Chain A
Amino acid sequence: EAGVAQSPRYKIIEKRQSVAFWCNPISGHATLYWYQQILGQGPKLLIQFQNNGVVDDSQLPKDRFSAERLKGVDSTLKIQPAKLEDSAVYLCASSFQGGLYGYTFGSGTRLTVV
């Protein structure tokens, strides 16, 4: 089966600019996650979707981050405006029946804010 697709792979922006990341999960996976992985740390959940509804966005900095999952398939994560501390790898993952069966991760988008 095709994996989780993410784009772009790399992005460099200046602080206060905006950026968007795209994710296409595995076909049939109802649950989609966005994780932020800062260098030297484990992935931190930003937002979890079940189909096109938000299940958990408790750690999403909502003043600058937003995410949507239209039609329960693809998802976009946006940052506006970006801060230096947003430099990280943004990982998208999907699962068939929730994370307890294991995730399939994409390769991530490495964001550098200068």
Chain B
Amino acid sequence: AQSVTQPDIHITVSEGASLELRCNYSYGATPYLFWYVQSPGQGLQLLLKYFSGDTLVQGIKGFEAEFKRSQSSFNLRKPSVHWSDAAEYFCAVGRGGGYQKVTFGTGTKLQVIP
């Protein structure tokens, strides 16, 4: 069965600082990987996704993520954080096949301080 681990429950960064959110997955085959962001009181919004090809994926809002098969990781990065990035971030892994199933991690809450 597929699973996702987000080891950091809560992260605080200063505005303008760089950000890296960790995500480790468990899946037997090549995974489909996603990062979603959830602002308070809102649903989840897709930031980026990885299926195959270039292991560095660019997403919306200046985010990027790198797939590292050897480490079973898909970490999310942003070079300079803005106060509006404060939200909860979810990593997710999916499997292919007829009807794809996507499993979400438990999330990392990002706090941005001035």
Chain A positions near chain B (C-beta within 8 angstroms): 4, 31, 40-45, 48, 50, 55-56, 91, 93, 98-108
Whether A91 touches B43, Cβ cut-off 8 Å, given contacts A41-B106, A42-B104, is yes
What count of chain B residues pass the 8 Å CB interface test? 25
What is the bound-complex CA distance between A41 and B96, given in angstroms?
Answer: 24
**Contact segment of B11-19, B45-53, B67-75, B77-85:** B45-53
Q: Are A91 and B100 in contact (CB under 8 A)?
A: no
Q: Are B105 and A42 in contact (CB under 8 A)?
A: yes
Q: Interface SS of chain B: helix, strand, loop or mixed? A: strand
Contact of A103 among B32, B41, B51, B102 (CB under 8 A): B102
Contact of B43 among A56, A102, A107 (CB under 8 A): A107
Q: Are A100 and B51 in contact (CB under 8 A)?
A: yes
Q: Are B43 and A108 in contact (CB under 8 A)?
A: yes
A contact residues around B32 at 8 Å (CB) = 100
Q: Are A4 and B43 in contact (CB under 8 A)?
A: yes
| 20 sampled A-B residue pairs with Cβ under 8 A | A40-B107, A41-B106, A41-B107, A42-B92, A42-B104, A42-B105, A43-B44, A48-B99, A91-B44, A98-B99, A99-B94, A99-B100, A100-B94, A100-B100, A100-B102, A102-B34, A102-B49, A103-B102, A105-B43, A105-B45
